[in-house]
């Protein structure tokens, strides 16, 4: 009685030891999966099939994928022990009708297990026994592969040299291995998808960059080509007016002045297109810019009317950047503040706030104001709220493009008949 108890305990110890070693094998495989970049996923899977196959004393281990569109299954990976013939080439596009019992178990999420193939019913040349016996299989187990609740294939283990009885614990551990394989394959698919999306994104960005470059080049070419005839038209009309001002009637005079007005309007538009197109193309002439000097120079350039008062905050910061770009920002904002002011005494304020990571500048006026529904629209190219002057409708678009170039933001606050304040930020670490 003592001896039987000792043997029983010895068998229990063996079972426990086997399970622990099996778990260690799975941990080792899992660690390799996690630490690998999966560029050699085929080798990883084949090595893991070999490792598990040898551990459970199988003669052949393999992976199949189900194709429910074509109602077939195909062998995708295979490991064979020494002296065991490979079957992967013979097991492609196998009709699912040949393995109905097999498939039925997998659809339920269960393993398909045949302890002794010779005991299967002899159900003809298309039956399961007729498929397995020519491969020399005596025992097999096939564990379903399930991804996101969907059956996608199975992992199988064949015993060719002898019968093999799988315990419930072995089955459970093989299910864990099947889930590991599903996860690593899914991870590889996700990496490939991310890689493809990244490549497509890079291609799209390159394409858009090229298109933008071509559009900018075209805009400059067309603008330059249009400049010459406009100058000629303006010159000829001016000469005509000077030479015939004594004999031209009022109606003709009005028409000719309308021509000059539209020529000037077109000239402003062309100038705006040129300025907008070169925002991102300026060669690197960055330097330290004293905004106090720059803003004062802009104000003199604009020729502010006498009924305007412009208050510029003292000690504006110095920024490292391109002089032309910052000149465009302040020129367009101050010029608009002058142009769209309907008050007898126009007041414009220019200043800034020193924030933690950036400077927040503002240009404030007491002009007509802008309706809230136009706050986003006015930054779009060729958008104008009024069509009564020579404005190109590109000024604020240029401002936004420059601020975007410096990774800043631009916005406004406004109230009709009260005035408007434009804000824009520029990071300190340019």
Taking only the tens place, the pLDDT of each residue in 46-70 is 888 898 888 888 899 999 999 999 9
Residue 281 has pLDDT above 50, yes or no: yes
Element (H, E) at 312: strand 308-312
Q: How far apart are the first and last CA of the chain?
A: 87
The first and second tokens of residue 385, run together, are 């709220």
Give CA–CA dist 281/283, Å, rounded: 6
pLDDT number for residue 12: 65
The tens digit of pLDDT for each residue in 301-324 reads: 887 888 999 999 999 999 998 888
- pLDDT band for position 170 (50/70/90)? confident
User: Per-residue confidence at 258, pLDDT binned at 50, 70, 90?
Assistant: confident
Q: What are 401-422's pLDDT values in tens digits? A: 889 989 999 999 999 999 999 9
Return d(Cα 44, Cα 40) in angstroms, integer: 6
Would you say residue 235 has pLDDT above 70? yes
Q: Kindly tell me if the per-residue pLDDT of 220 is higher than 70.
A: no
Average pLDDT of the residues in 284-293: 85
Backbone φ and ψ for 335, nearest 5 degrees, come out as -60, -40
Give the model's pLDDT for residue 377. Answer: 83
Of 198-207, 265-274, 357-366, the poorest mean pLDDT is in 265-274
Taking 90 as the threshold, does the pLDDT of residue 256 lie above it? no
The mean pLDDT of 234-252, rounded to a whole number, is 76
**Top-confidence residue, 149 or 204:** 149
The pLDDT of residue 215:
60
Q: Is the pLDDT of residue 263 over 80?
A: no
pLDDT for 389 equals 52
Mean pLDDT of 159-165: 89
User: What per-residue confidence (pLDDT) applies to 387?
Assistant: 52
Higher pLDDT, 138 or 280: 138
Q: What is the pLDDT of residues 115-135, one digit of tens each?
A: 998 888 877 666 778 878 888
Beta bridge partner(s), residue 323: none
Residue 38 has pLDDT above 50, yes or no: yes
According to the model, what pLDDT value does residue 3 have? 45
- What pLDDT shows up at residue 4? 43
pLDDT (mean) for 70-92: 91
Assign 47 to helix, strand or coil.
helix
pLDDT exceeds 50 at position 2: no
% residues pLDDT > 70 (the chain) = 78
Q: Is the dihedral of CA 270, 272, 275, 276 positive or negative?
A: negative
Which helix (DSSP H) or strand (DSSP E) does residue 154 occupy? strand 150-159
Q: What is the pLDDT of residue 360?
A: 95
Burial (CB < 10 A; 0-12, 13-18, 19+), residue 144, is buried
**Confidence (pLDDT) at 5:** 45
How many percent of the chain have pLDDT more than 90? 28
Q: Are 317 and 333 in contact (CB under 8 A)?
A: no
Compute the average pLDDT of residues 245-259.
76
């Amino acid at each position: 009685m003592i001896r039987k108890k000792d043997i029983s305990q010895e068998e229990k110890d063996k079972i426990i030891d086997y399970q622990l070693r099996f778990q260690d094998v799975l941990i080792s495989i899992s660690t390799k999966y996690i630490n690998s970049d999966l560029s050699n996923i085929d080798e990883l899977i084949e090595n893991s099939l070999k490792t598990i196959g040898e551990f459970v004393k199988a003669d052949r281990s393999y992976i199949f994928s189900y194709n429910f569109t074509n109602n077939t299954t195909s062998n995708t990976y295979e490991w064979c022990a020494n002296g065991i013939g490979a079957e992967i080439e013979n097991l492609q596009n196998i009709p699912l009708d040949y393995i109905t019992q097999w498939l039925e178990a997998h659809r339920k999420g269960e393993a398909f297990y045949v302890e002794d193939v010779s005991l299967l019913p002899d159900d003809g040349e298309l039956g399961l026994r007729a498929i397995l016996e020519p491969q020399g299989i005596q025992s097999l187990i096939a564990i379903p592969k399930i991804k996101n609740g969907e059956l996608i294939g199975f992992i199988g283990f064949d015993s060719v040299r002898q019968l093999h009885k799988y315990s419930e614990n072995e089955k459970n551990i093989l299910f864990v291995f099947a889930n590991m394989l599903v996860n690593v394959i899914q991870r590889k698919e996700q990496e490939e998808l991310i890689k493809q999306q990244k490549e497509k994104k890079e291609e799209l960005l390159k394409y858009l960059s090229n298109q933008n470059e071509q559009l900018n080049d075209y805009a400059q070419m067309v603008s330059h080509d249009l400049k010459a005839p406009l100058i000629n038209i303006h010159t000829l009309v001016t000469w005509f007016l000077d030479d015939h001002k004594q004999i031209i009637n009022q109606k003709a005079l009005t028409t000719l002045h309308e021509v000059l007005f539209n020529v000037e309007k077109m000239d402003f538009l062309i100038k705006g297109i040129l300025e907008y197109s070169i925002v991102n193309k300026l060669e690197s002439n960055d330097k330290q810019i004293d905004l106090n000097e720059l803003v004062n120079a802009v104000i003199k350039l604009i020729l502010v009317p006498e009924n305007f008062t412009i208050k510029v905050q003292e000690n504006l910061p110095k920024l490292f950047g391109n002089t032309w770009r910052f000149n465009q920002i302040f020129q367009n904002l101050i010029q608009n503040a002058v142009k769209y002011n309907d008050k007898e005494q126009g007041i414009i304020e220019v200043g800034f706030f020193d924030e933690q990571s950036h400077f927040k500048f503002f240009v404030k006026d007491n002009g007509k104001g802008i309706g809230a529904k136009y706050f986003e629209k006015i930054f779009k190219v060729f958008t104008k709220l009024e069509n009564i002057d020579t404005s190109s409708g590109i000024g604020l678009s240029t401002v936004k493009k420059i601020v975007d170039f410096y990774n800043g933001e631009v916005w406004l606050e406004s109230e009709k008949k009260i005035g408007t304040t434009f804000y824009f930020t520029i990071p300190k670490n340019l």
